[in-house]
Amino acid sequence: MYTLLLLVVFRLGCYIVLPGIEPTLLPKGGSKGGVFGFLDTFLGGAFNNVAIFALGIMPYISASIIVQLLQVALPSFQKMQQDDSGRKQLTQITRYLTIGITFAQSFGFLTTQVPKEAIIVNYNFFIFSSMIILTGGTMFTMWLGERITDKGLGNGTSMLIMIGIVSRFPVALIKEFNLRPPLVFVVEMVVLFFVVMAVVLITQAVRKIHIQYARQVVGGKIMGNQRQYLPLKLNSAGVMPIIFAQSLMFVPSMISQAFPIVMRRLG
């Protein structure tokens, strides 16, 4: 019930439009596809709704993976990981980095994805205030994920991503059913089922490395000569590399669209 309550709060935030926007003037039909459509799927429609959770948990995931990469590349970060105080410092660094990433992405999002005619307040004030709101929304989403991890069910970050994708699934099924002949739709559902099973199989697959201990005589007793296995997961990273790659794809597209628009508006 605790997890369900926090997920409901997250879904409500995906429909609260940023202050200063007239929702009826926003484009109908969602994103145009591509990277932004992919991102909107992860966020459960919050991206197209221009909601306070429009950036969701994605900046936090990007910051977390960047910090993990730094732990491999820099000895100082490796030392932090070895004790509790160091891990707390890494957590703080991740949060500060999340704020910076969200601030940068929010500016690109507001200047490229929000039509100027839908803004009913001063444009500069809207950009500044919305950047703060979007950053606060991402930090609140991060807090929800941490609370689910600590006191709820499963990993909070994965749960937030999952609920965003699942929330769009019924609508997607209805659209697909209306667009395809019944036989084609049934075939697609069968293929989808086997694809999901294959993903689960790869995710759960473990390679057992046999370990043979040498026999030792200790106090007249024969020790060792036992068979044990070292389990190595086939996909130890899970879906995080895919999500991180999606975040990296999101940045160049946002910058390429933001630069000409910003230059035109400033000019």
pLDDT of residue 76: 82
Same domain, yes or no: 56 and 138: yes
Same domain, yes or no: 206 and 98: no
With 90 as the cut, is the pLDDT of residue 139 above it? yes
The CATH number covering residue 129 comes to: 1.10.3370.10
Domain count, the chain: 2
Summarize pLDDT for 73-115 with one digit per residue, the tens: 888 888 888 878 888 888 888 899 999 989 888 888 888 778 8
Alpha-helical (H) ranges within 43-181 are: 46-49, 58-73, 75-80, 84-113, 123-151, 156-179
- Containing structural domain, residue 227: 187-236
Same domain, yes or no: 94 and 221: no
Same domain, yes or no: 24 and 92: yes
Same domain, yes or no: 103 and 174: yes
pLDDT of residue 229: 79
Same domain, yes or no: 125 and 193: no
pLDDT of residue 211: 77
Same domain, yes or no: 9 and 129: yes
Same domain, yes or no: 110 and 9: yes
Same domain, yes or no: 214 and 143: no
Using DSSP, state whether 27 is helix, strand or coil: coil
* 202, HSE (Cβ side, Cα atoms, 13 Å): 9
Same domain, yes or no: 59 and 110: yes
* 251, HSE (Cβ side, Cα atoms, 13 Å): 12
Pairing verdict, β 206-212 and 227-233: antiparallel
Per the confidence metrics, is the pTM higher than 0.75? no
| Interatomic CA distance for residues 102 and 59, integer angstroms | 6
Same domain, yes or no: 113 and 22: yes
Summarize pLDDT for 176-234 with one digit per residue, the tens: 888 888 898 899 999 999 999 998 898 888 888 877 766 666 666 666 556 677 888 88
